[in-house]
Structure 1
Amino acid sequence: MTAPPPPSAPRRPRTPDRPGHHGVSAGHFIGAYGLLALTALLVLIFSLTLPRTFPTLDTLDSILSTQSIPAVLALAAMVPIVAGAFDLSIGYGLGLAHVMVLYLVVEAEWPWPLACLAVIVGGLVVGVLNGVIVEFGRIDSFIATLGTGSMMFAVTGWITDGGRIVPGPGGLPPAFTDLYTSTFLGLPVPAFYVLVLAVALWLVLERLPIGRCLYVVGSNPRAADLVGIPVRKYTVCAFAASGLIVGFAGVLLAAQQQIGNPSVGLDYLLPAFVGALLGSTAIKPGRPNAPGTLVAVAVLAVGLTGIAQMGAEFWTVPLFHGGTLLLAVGLAGYAARRRVHTGVFAARDAPDGTSEPPPAPPPGGTP
């Protein structure tokens, strides 16, 4: 008699939660690029609904130009979120920065390049102070930055005496206003500022150790401290980068407005956080990231432009932003929880190259 063959080892069941299977790949693809697909869908819908006004070069130029400052500010808000903090002072800082530029150029008669440099450096200093207050003062970032933002708003009112800074009959230097009004390759130059800034942040956060450490700090500060990552240092660096970007946004806003308005910065606060939080649901769901932030800003820009061209009332803008913010927070939390559940990690994203840092918790709590 022939001996029966040895029993074969039981096969490991193929579960949809294991990396590399089609279920996870398809779900991850939809989560990563669904927001980008929504942008394309909105463009198609508004183009068919408004064929004479929406699908035009004028509309494209308007979106790229008017949404450049919200995009820059959304990127500024994103950096502290990566480190697990929130900077609510960015709107107040934007207002102070643009007023300071115009004050130095118009009232103090500084050369405009020196005024712009001083304001950008000032933004960096304010960011460092925010980080120091949060980390060394042990104050929650919501409360700390709300307090410093209120103080910046007071400084803005003191500088302007509650009024506006209006240039004289000669106006502002043309080279200064060209920072916002000029074009490059047929497109508004502010769009290229946004692109360069997004690429720089992507390189720092995704390709350099400092960015990967920031993600670890934002995911679990205690674990980061246990493995030797200086949590306070990286958090202060995140706030410093945010302040630096806000200072640059203030320069752009001054070149756009050409009038110092002490209350204009607050209008950009909610759109900035909507873009930053909604961006954490795209490209790399569950993690704040620069490309996702740009996609989120694009969705908001296309939606608001289409709604405006359809003749919507003025109150639809805050309604749209508020509803989108709630949706963004909910989706960001879901994306973070799903990322933890599936356990899809990439070795190239870890600080030491061994495993990906844990995903950041959803805003307002842990997954």
Structure 2
Amino acid sequence: MTSSPSSRPLLDRLRGHHVGAYGLPALAALLFLVFSLALPATFPTRDTVSSILSNQSVPAVLALGATVPVAAGKFDLSIGYGLGLAHVMVLDLIVSDGWPWPLACLVVVAGAAAVGALNGVIVEFGRIDSFIATLGTGSMMYAVTGWVTDGARIVPGPQGLPAAFTGLYDSRFLGLPLPAYYVLAVAGTLWLVLERLPLGRYLYVIGSNPRAAGIIGIPTHRYSVYAFAGSGLLFGLAGVLLAAQQQTGNPSVGLDYLLPAFVGALLGSTTIKPGRANALGTVVAVAVLAIGLAGIGQLGAQFWATPLFNGATLLIAVGLAGYSARRRLRTGAGAPRHP
């Protein structure tokens, strides 16, 4: 039985949608299979899975933070610098000032959200492009990081850090690393906000067509500030987790996480909900990166393979995101609707 000519375009669109929506999860499964066949003794093991879930928790939370402004058509280049500042501030408050670790974590996360909101104010009310504005504020955060640490590492004394604080990263629950549950909680919350609440729908409309969003009565400036505040909140959380992981304050470590975060956010916008940033897509993208990096690492790749892999994946992600957006415009699927 053959389909009629009039039904073929519909079938082609359905096939294209499924390839776009589920191609990246299929790639993650394929990569895991390939590396498992190539490294049967080391890759398909509980230790490898546990290592991936644990080591990629910070990049995953940071990528989810980058996803929020991307949904509103903005970019927050300060997240890497903010991560570095947050993690040294937590350790400085605990080690140097003797603060209780829960209070130090709470203050740092709240401060990061405030910094994110300030980014939004500068972008929206200062009318500065988000790339330029957040690059400038990020550079200022890097300067503050250097001032706090005096360019040196923050190292705990002989008594070390509180066990409950380091347990934020080191603990396990139901056989899995505790950081994996943080990622699931953040991703689930972000999915709920973006997909089920008016805030998320407003951000998508703003990201699709800010002028149209203003015409239909959405306060675009306010919701863009909310998006940057959400980004700040999440890079603050990632900074706390990084501090519990590394247990020393490195003033330059945050920059290493900037590129993987944007790769995850942009590549994630090409899957699950192709053409728009979404939490589940970001998690899938981070999984692809994690599996790829773990595999090439076990194959004995040199140190330069990681930035090469991240950079190449970023180019692919941007290209696929642009192609997906153009395709949605051609098919009319990207027309914004009033929430």
Matched letter for residue 256 of structure 1:
Q
In the alignment, what sits opposite 2:192? 203
Q: Secondary structure at the match of 1:313?
A: coil
Question: Equivalent residues in 2 for 1:1-367 (5 A)?
Answer: 14=6, 16-17=8-9, 21-344=10-333, 350-352=337-339
The equivalent of 1:357 in structure 2 is none
Q: Give structure 2 stretches of 5+ with no counterpart.
A: none
- Residues 193-226 of structure 1 show CA distances to partners (whole Å, capped at 9, x for unaligned) of 0001101111110111110110000111111001
Q: What TM-score comes out, normalization by structure 2 length? A: 0.97
Deviations 1:81-126 (A, max 9, x none): 1111100000000000000000000000000000000000000110
Distance in 2 (alpha carbons) for counterparts of 1:105 and 1:284: 41
Indicate the SS of the match to 1:252. helix
- Structure 1 unmatched runs, 5+: 1-11, 353-367
Larger Rg, first or second structure (1 or 2):
1
Give distance in 1, aligned partners of 2:45 and 2:33.
13
After TM superposition, give the deviation of residue 343 of structure 1 in Å.
Answer: 2.8
- Equivalents in 1 of 2:108, 2:268: separation in Å? 28
SS at match of 1:167: coil
Q: String of CA shifts for 1:116-150, please: whole Å, max 9, x gaps.
A: 00000000110010000000000010110000000
Higher relative contact order (CA closer than 8 Å, sequence separation 6+):
2
Q: Which residue of 2 aligns with 1:355?
A: none
Question: Post-superposition shift, 1:351?
Answer: 4.3
- 1:164 partner SS: coil
- Offset of 1:23 from its aligned partner? 1.9
String of CA shifts for 1:33-87, please: whole Å, max 9, x gaps: 0000000000110000000000000000000000000000000001001111100
CA distance in 2 between partners of 1:265 and 1:144 (Å): 18
In the TM superposition, what is the alpha-carbon distance from 1:337 to its structure 2 partner? 1.1
Amino acid in structure 2 at the alignment position of 1:60 = V
The answer to whether the Cα contact below 8 Å between 2:216 and 2:338 also exists between their aligned partners in 1 is: no
Q: State whether residues 209 and 351 of structure 1, in contact with CA within 8 Å, keep that contact through their aligned partners in structure 2.
A: no
Q: For residues 267 and 350 of structure 1, what CA distance do their matches in structure 2 show?
A: 38
Structure 2: distance between partners of 1:169 and 1:185: 32
Q: Distance in 1 between matches of 2:331 and 2:17?
A: 10
TM-aligned CA deviation for residue 325 of structure 1: 0.4
The one-letter amino acid of 1:79's match is V
Cα distance in 2 between the residues matched to 1:342 and 1:223: 19
Shift of 1:27: 1.2
- When the two structures are superposed, what TM-score results if normalisation uses the length of structure 1? 0.90
- For 1:112 and 1:127, locate their aligned partners in 2 and report how far apart those are by CA, in whole Å: 22
1:344 positional shift: 3.8
Q: Which amino acid is 1:67 matched to?
A: Q
| Cα shift at 1:16 | 4.7
Contact kept in structure 2, 1:212 and 1:350, CA below 8 Å: no
Stretches of 4+ moved more than 3 A in 1? Answer: 349-352
Query: What is the alpha-carbon distance in structure 2 between the residues aligned to residue 264 and residue 138 of structure 1?
Result: 30
Letter of the 2:139 counterpart: S
CA distance in 1, matches of 2:68, 2:50: 27
Distance in 1 (CA, whole Å) between partners of 2:6 and 2:329 is 19
Q: What letter is aligned with 2:91?
A: L
Cα distance in 1, alignment partners of residues 237 and 57 from structure 2? 12
Determine which structure has the larger helix proportion and give its number.
Answer: 2
Percent identity, please. Answer: 72
State the 1:15 CA deviation. 5.6
CA deviation string 1:232-253 (max 9, x = no partner) = 0010000000000110100000
Aligned Cα RMSD in Å? 1.4
Q: Deviation of residue 345 (structure 1)?
A: 6.8
Q: Is the 8 A contact 2:266 2:318 kept in 1?
A: yes
State the Cα distance separating 1:14 from its structure 2 match.
1.9
